[in-house]
Structure 1
Amino acid sequence: MATRMGARFTGDLAELRYEPVAKRVRAVAGGRTFADSRRAVLVWEPKRVVPSYAFPLPDLRATLTPSDDASAPEHPVQLAEGGPPVLDPRTAFAVHTCPGEPLTLDSDGVTLPGAGFRPADDDLAQHAVLDFAAFDEWLEEAEPIVGHPRDPFARIDVRRSDSRVRIEVDGVVVADSAAPRLLFETGITTRYYLPREDVRMDLLTPSDTRTTCAYKGHASYWSVGAHRDLAWTYDEPLSDARDVAGYIAFLTERVDVVLDGERLPRPVTPWS
């Protein structure tokens, strides 16, 4: 019987997973380089969908000491209706789902409490997983990365489309376009990015919300009526998403989408 690849990856979410990378990876905080390695590995703890970088202990430029377990709430969500529960990426690094030892890192007086974790696993015992958010800068080769490490098994594709997309909010048409750009992202529902001239900008109110995506960059948001942060844009996206620069997308989980005359069901995702 054939195996659906998406189901294979979903079925592995309960396991501790890792993957070596060939890039030179550096982690910097307080002007100190805490890690510099060409032997880093990506690590996914059980129920994590976003990876963290782990480094061989000799490649860390820091003193490691045991750290007290820090309490932090879990934020379980479902990637899809009926799917296994996973941890929302906003769940703090301090939540560990496999046995191991939390670590504090110190480099020349710059101390990062609980920013490391040494898994009790034969393949990873000589590595320390680092908290992405605890560092000021991450570099892959000479390029900074944002948000979190990129997953080598995930990608985005942007495609120009001649389909007609209509967006309705509470029965009111807020956008109607025959020139959308569709963004397909591994594990994420299709997003419809529309030219601003096809959006009722008079119905959108700018929000102070900002988010960061490791693949697309920094997004700014709009609210529509009482619906906060219902639409967003990437004004200066990263290279993979440059074709949606300035275009506007709507949270399809909370609006009604009519695609070529067919009203689509609202997807069930962590953003529903």
Structure 2
Amino acid sequence: MDVLFLENLVINFLILYVTSIFSKVRVSSLRIAVGAAIGASYVAVLILLPGMKVYGTIIAKLLLSAGIIAITFTPEKLKSFLKVLAMFYVSSFIFAGAAFAFIYFNQSGGFVRNGIVYVFWRYKLTVLVLSLMMVGIVVKILIEIIQSRTKEKYLMPIKISFEDNVIELAALVDTGNSLHDPLTNMPVIIVEYLAIKDVLPADIQDIFKESKENDLDNISRVISNSKWFSRFRLIPFMSIGKDNGILIGFKPDYIEIGKDDEKKGVKDVVVGICNKTLSRNEGYRALLNPELV
């Protein structure tokens, strides 16, 4: 029983960890370990104790899965719960497929009891490690495919016009960007400073070069004497680790979103300048508010 428990504890921990990655819900390792221990205990008792067939039914297993997800991830909404539960089953199927592939090639024996498959492996540790390696490769490939397709779907070319200057760059439609100018309620596009600096006046560039975009006194002094005074905006925002952030924004002449026959011109918009890199590989340099698409 102890060996069976430990094996399932490791596998369940990894399944829940992968579930966390797929569902993008961060939880502590302790909570994952608790959920894994519950699942491992259930399997060990189900296989080794007689008269437990009722707990091996589909309904019982569904209830167990729901309980593990509720305890590990504590989703607040039904939609979030179902999403995490679905990712849990996807992760489980990936692990099961990898394990059965090696079982087949290794020609191992085993038995089925109460709906649970238990396998005898001559080189159990080796097969387990190989299975985990295969799962790691599959998960990595799936994540890269999903991320790349998601980005391609939501990447759009945009043009930003300031006076006689036009900046062209790629933007990601970011569903998490719900920023609006508090005075005019115009939607905000977040753009990297380095992508837009050439069209900014020298005094405005100095704010970002010296990393003083959070110094309100300095910003007020510079902006009050700038030719861009009428364009100036201050946009409050909240993000992880920063409850009261301020984004410097400017009103462009207009922006153009999309390409060819799908081009869309927008004037009622504010460009918020971010002094950080938005994409590691520079696949995009701006974040579009979904309202603009």
* Structure 1 length-normalised TM: 0.29
Question: Which structure: greater strand fraction?
Answer: 1
TM-score normalised by L of structure 2: 0.28
The one of the two structures with greater contact order (alpha-carbon pairs below 8 A, sep at least 6) is 2
More helix by share: 2
